[in-house]
Amino acid sequence: MKIVTVNVPESYLEAINKLLDNKANRNGGMYPSRSELIRVAVRDFLKKEIKRAEEFILVPEREKLDPKKFVNVPHITEDENGDPVKEFITYKIVKRLEY
């Protein structure tokens, strides 16, 4: 596994700590550590986003595309020798999320 450093608001840490299995949490917890909780959260997020991405409309690559309406997403496959091959799949943006 790789180490990733993330800055999060204090309120997120308070919520995370409520879900940890430690002496400070009288109710017990669902996760043994912050790292495990964050791994589970990221995994679930990625599953959801990948499922949503698969529902996007595929667009022929040869068309000239407006970057405000289309996005190229990297996709890694393997060739017949098992070597990684990086391609891009173009999707039409149906709804842009605002953060």
The string of pLDDT tens digits covering residues 11-22 is: 999 999 889 987
How far is the C-alpha of 77 from the C-alpha of 88, rounded, in Å? 10
Question: What domain range includes position 64?
Answer: 56-99
Q: In this predicted structure, what is the pLDDT of residue 24?
A: 64
* Pair (8, 27) in one structural domain: yes
**Which residues neighbour 13 within 8 Å (Cβ) at sequence distance 6 or greater?**
none
* Pair (7, 48) in one structural domain: yes
Ordered mean pLDDT values, 10 residues apiece, the chain (99 residues): 92 91 72 93 90 67 70 84 84 71
* Pair (39, 84) in one structural domain: no
* Pair (2, 20) in one structural domain: yes
How far is the C-alpha of 53 from the C-alpha of 93, rounded, in Å? 10
Q: In this predicted structure, what is the pLDDT of residue 96?
A: 65
Percent of the chain residues topping a pLDDT of 90: 29
How far is the C-alpha of 69 from the C-alpha of 66, rounded, in Å? 5
* Pair (47, 83) in one structural domain: no
| β-strand partners of 95 | none
Q: In this predicted structure, what is the pLDDT of residue 5?
A: 93
Which of 54, 74, 89 is the endpoint of a domain?
Answer: 54
* Pair (43, 62) in one structural domain: no
Q: In this predicted structure, what is the pLDDT of residue 35?
A: 93
**Residue written as tokens 């997120």?**
12
What's the number of domains the chain is made of? 2
* Pair (50, 79) in one structural domain: no
With 0.95 as the threshold, say if the pTM is over it: no
How far is the C-alpha of 29 from the C-alpha of 40, rounded, in Å? 14
